[in-house]
Amino acid sequence: MSSATPAQGPTVAPVCPRHTDRISYVSCQRCGRPACPQCQRSASVGVQCVDCVKASSKAAPVNRTAFGGATRAGRPKVTITLMGICVAMFAASWVLPNDYIFRTFAYAPFLTESQPWRMVTSAFLHSASPLHIAFNMYALWILGNALEPAFGRIRFLAVYLISALAGSVGVLLLSPLDTAVVGASGAVFGLFGALFVVQRKRGGDLRQIVVLLLINAAIGFLIPGIAWQAHLGGLLAGALCTAAIVYAPRKNRNILQWGAMAAVLVLAAALAVYKVGTFPDFIIG
């Protein structure tokens, strides 16, 4: 009798698990699954699929700054974004008719109860004078380049926004009810306060910062139309938030940092609510 060769079944071509309509004879070096050209990522040896690359990225340890923020190379993206919003709003204020931007987003204390969001949106507006926005954007660029890499993007943004809100709270507490304000000065002074605390923590020279703060404070009192109340509120909030960031111990650092910043935010909100409660009954937004 002669022996018969076993019949071979049809060979199934390997397909990419993410794109099942694509045949691929290239396999991932980690999981061994086929990977089409769209899903291939170059590795030190061979090719990995996009899923394995994502998994390894999540498992990799995140480098942290001295204050707990994630380390990221490149330009300070939050600073640039904040500047971009301010410049866009400045341009819109020239293009849109009838002062629409100011009537919609500027802040005055008597609007606090009915339109509280203006306490933050006003920090992205500037008066018609190019010098106003030019000074604030220059200061934001300098301070952002120093503080955003040190804090990390999220912490830096939190300090900025809380300082902006606190600047409006300063206006609410210390200015007449019909005082209209715009500008990033409150938030910028918050960053000045933040830089002061950081320099003190690091043992750096504080004289230049103090002189700069005194000069800007004097300008706020000497030149009409500048809300020194916003400067003061932003400065205090920025310094308090930053003290929480830089002096928090490593153990439970995130909880302590964010808890303290939340406390500053709650304090600012409580002061605003208290002040609104003292308004005359005829004040409406």
Q: Which residues are catalytic?
A: 185, 231
Q: Is 190 helix (H, G, I), strand (E, B) or coil?
A: helix
Looking at residue 60, what DSSP letter applies? S
Q: Is 15 helix (H, G, I), strand (E, B) or coil?
A: strand
- The full length of the chain comes to 285
Picking from 225, 217, 224, 238, the residue whose alpha carbon sits closest to that of residue 169 is: 238
Picking from 119, 261, 95, the residue whose alpha carbon sits closest to that of residue 182 is: 119
Helices within the chain (DSSP H only): 50-59, 77-95, 100-105, 118-121, 130-151, 153-174, 185-202, 207-222, 228-247, 253-277
Q: Which amino acid is at 19?
A: H
Q: Residue with structure tokens 């703060």?
A: 213
Cβ neighbours of residue 191 under 8 Å, at least 6 residues apart? 139, 140, 143, 144, 147, 159, 160, 163, 238
Q: How far apart are CA 261 and CA 274, in angstroms?
A: 20
